Amino acid sequence: MVVEAEEQQSQAVGKDDENEIVTENSAFVHPEPPQDDSGPPKVESPVEILHEKVTKQIIKEGHGQKPSKYSTCFLHYRAWTESTGHKFEDTRHEQQPLEMVLGKEKKEMTGLAIGVSSMKSGERALLHVGWELGYGEEGSFSFPNVPPKADILYEVELIGFDETKEGKTRGDMTVEERIGAADRRKMDGNALFKEEKLEEAIQQYEMAIAYMGDDFMFQLFGKYRDMALAVKNPCHLNTAACLIKLKRFEEAIGQCSIVLTEDENNAKALFRRGKARAELGQTDAAKEDFLKARKFSPGDKAIVRELRLLAEHEKAIYKKQREIYKGIFGPRPEPKPQTNNRLIHLLVLFWQWLVSFFKHERAKDD
């Protein structure tokens, strides 16, 4: 499937097209509070027994159907050894979801796959996996902190899945198939965004980006690389747009920075990163992004508006600071005229001498 080329940089950053979505002047919604990163999340939901060695507790409900055997699933997860509470893996730190074909997973992922097969897209759950379906009797060579016979706790989020009966992985697809699959996910994400289903839209964009992984992009040159970037970059920018609406500004900055690594003059990436930075109070960095975006998209009204808002914000802060510090130390005292202490001392001595002289003269007369 051939995808359309990305819009020209001279186009207005607020203009919509098939690739990218617009968030300017849109209302914010509030996301769920993030889980504490110090250890496995504490979950109050009922325990569901999936297998003799696998149980599940739902943290967040998903939607739609569950994946069937040989579905290609994309998921993020954090993993801890239950006995020590040590976290030994976190896919979100690598910004790359795990791809798993159910029924063809690695042996140490058997318990995780049983849990994933019970989940719906967008669902987040806590899985308890016995060592028999995890890293086994010997533990893990790749993760030295996973000891022998270690039961595992997984916090898993199923981003989504593709129903491929033959269990075809990304590595088995042609370049055109991977780009086409990513493009379909991107369009699904755009549709969900328009319905204000922001979390679900992000999931679709993440799946599209998963098809365009670093290992894949590294092998592409010429027109194929251009075709892939025409899908991948808008997915990062659209994810940033969703994250800004969800007030997850640090994550939005990260998505825009990925695009700017490939295309340092991308006006939309600069503009959206500037918006996220402004929301975090990083006014100098935001101003720098907006000014650079204006250079590549001169006269764009959205950029002009953001620069004006920044200027008004800085002016208001300066005015407030002046009011706070005005008169804090009171009026400056008037300088007192300085007198010559040496002159006074000489006058005193002269007066004493004069008095003494008259006393002496009077004594002589007597």
Q: Which residues contact 15 (CB under 8 A, 6 or more apart)?
A: 7, 22
Q: Which amino acid is at 101?
A: V
pLDDT tens for 115-131 read 999 999 989 999 999 99
In the prediction, which pLDDT does 20 show?
66
CATH 3.10.50.40, the chain: domain bounds? 48-162
State residue 353's pLDDT score. 76
Mean pLDDT in residue range 24-28: 39
* pLDDT, tens only, 146-184: 999 999 999 999 998 887 655 567 778 889 988 998 999
Mean pLDDT of the chain: 83
Distance in angstroms between the alpha carbons of the first and the last residue of the chain: 136
117 Rama sector, left if φ>0, alpha if ψ -120 to 50, beta otherwise: alpha
Lowest mean pLDDT among 207-216, 238-247, 270-279: 207-216
* 101-113: pLDDT as tens digits: 999 899 999 999 9
Q: Which CATH number fits domain 48-162: 3.10.50.40, 3.30.830.10, 3.40.50.1000, 3.30.43.10?
A: 3.10.50.40
Q: In this predicted model, what pLDDT tens digit does every residue of 214-271 receive, in sequence order?
A: 878 888 999 999 999 999 999 999 999 999 999 999 999 999 999 999 899 999 999 9
Beta-carbon contacts of 147 under 8 Å, excluding residues fewer than 6 positions away, are: 81, 83, 84, 139
Please report which confidence band the pLDDT of residue 9 belongs to, taking 50, 70 and 90 as the band edges: very low
Could you report the per-residue pLDDT of 305-330, keeping only the tens digit for each?
Answer: 999 999 998 888 877 777 777 656 55
Neighbours of 303 (CB within 10 A): 26
As separate numbers, helices (DSSP H) first and strands (DSSP E) second, the chain gives 10, 7
The pLDDT value recorded for residue 4 is 35
Residue ranges, CATH 1.25.40.10, the chain: 171-319
Q: Which long-range contacts (CB under 8 A, 24 or more apart) does 93-99 make?
A: 95/254, 95/258, 96/210, 96/213, 96/214, 97/159, 97/206, 97/207, 97/210, 98/74, 99/72, 99/73, 99/74, 99/169, 99/170, 99/210
Rounded Cα distance between 150 and 159, Å, is 27
pTM of the model as a whole: 0.66
Options 1.25.40.10, 3.40.50.300, 2.40.30.10, 3.90.1170.30; which CATH number does 171-319 get? 1.25.40.10
pLDDT of residue 3 exceeding 50 = no
pLDDT of 214 reads: 80
% pLDDT > 70, the chain: 82
Burial class of residue 269 (count of CB atoms within 10 Å of its CB; 0-12, 13-18, 19+): buried
